Amino acid sequence: MNPVNDLIVCLSGQGVYRVGDDDERVVLNPGDAMLIPAYTRFRGMRGEGTDRYTGIAQHFAMELFGRGDLLKQLLLKRSVRLPDWGFNGPIVRNYRETAPTGTTTLLQHHQFMIILLAFIETAFIAWQRPEDVPDTQDQLSVQIMLVASRLSADPVGSGVEEALAKLPYNRDYFRRAFKERMGLTPNKFRELKRMEFAASRLGMGLTVKAVAAELGYADPYYFSRMFKRFIGSSPLSYREKPESDGTN
């Protein structure tokens, strides 16, 4: 039992879990994901087959602007097969293979948001009960959180207009509400997340020119100015320094 939520994704082998007070049996095969809500009893074991059971199990919370955990407001399937496994599978594998021993990295945060959003969108059934449907401002807060998560999760993918495409709100009204809660307009928030992603890529040793191109900037100098505006220092200061061999 954990005081936060757990998202479990199977990469190989088979996992068998007993979850909740009713001891629900859940079987995970490669590509399957399961959410275990906070304070839920569970136990797991390796399932059938000879393949080693591997995957990820990540603790997390989704605080909604001080209004509590978003997931408590949603009725979700216990487990689902993640959609587009050809895309999401490599992300899960990379997330596992690059897991640090300490704090989650910025790149891992982006990767986890992609995985989590894929799970929520696939597992969503309804709000918990009709009387639990949030009021107008709560609904707006949920939509702001989801848009912010999408922009954070895929900084080199879909733009702001794509993220806002299906919102049941006037665009100008939503942009004002987004800025009020997030401190930035959707466009500037996305650019900040793109520059944070760029900082992570630079830290991996990529050149400024390569990262600029990855983000769609034809001019590395313009990219450098944008980077400094949002991050506060030049891209070169984030480049991974080669280890010294003691010679000059």
Structure tokens at 56: 């990820």
Between CA 175 and CA 165 the distance in angstroms is 13
Cα angle: 16, vertex 103, 10; to 5 degrees: 20
* 239, 202 Cβ separation under 8 angstroms: yes
pLDDT at 163: 77
* 107, 100 Cβ separation under 8 angstroms: no
* 19, 26 Cβ separation under 8 angstroms: yes
Between CA 220 and CA 164 the distance in angstroms is 29
Q: In this structure, are strands 5-12 and 24-28 parallel, antiparallel, or unpaired?
A: unpaired
Between CA 195 and CA 163 the distance in angstroms is 18
Q: Domain 1-125 is in which class?
A: mainly beta
* 26, 16 Cβ separation under 8 angstroms: yes
Structure tokens at 48: 């059938």
Which residues of the chain carry a pLDDT beneath 70?
Answer: 63-69, 100-107, 127-138, 158, 240-248
DSSP conformational letter for 204: T
* 71, 26 Cβ separation under 8 angstroms: no
Structure tokens at 174: 């939503």
pLDDT at 34: 98
Between CA 70 and CA 61 the distance in angstroms is 9
Residues 37-73 have pLDDT tens digits of 989 999 999 998 889 999 999 998 876 666 556 777 7
- Domain-wise residue ranges, the chain: 1-125, 134-240
Tell the burial category of 228 from Cβ atoms under 10 Å away from its Cβ (0-12, 13-18, 19+): middle
* 135, 67 Cβ separation under 8 angstroms: no
* Cα 148 off chain centre by: 10
Report the CATH superfamily, name and number, of domain 134-240: Homeodomain-like (1.10.10.60)
Residue reference for tokens 């696939």 = 122
pLDDT at 130: 47
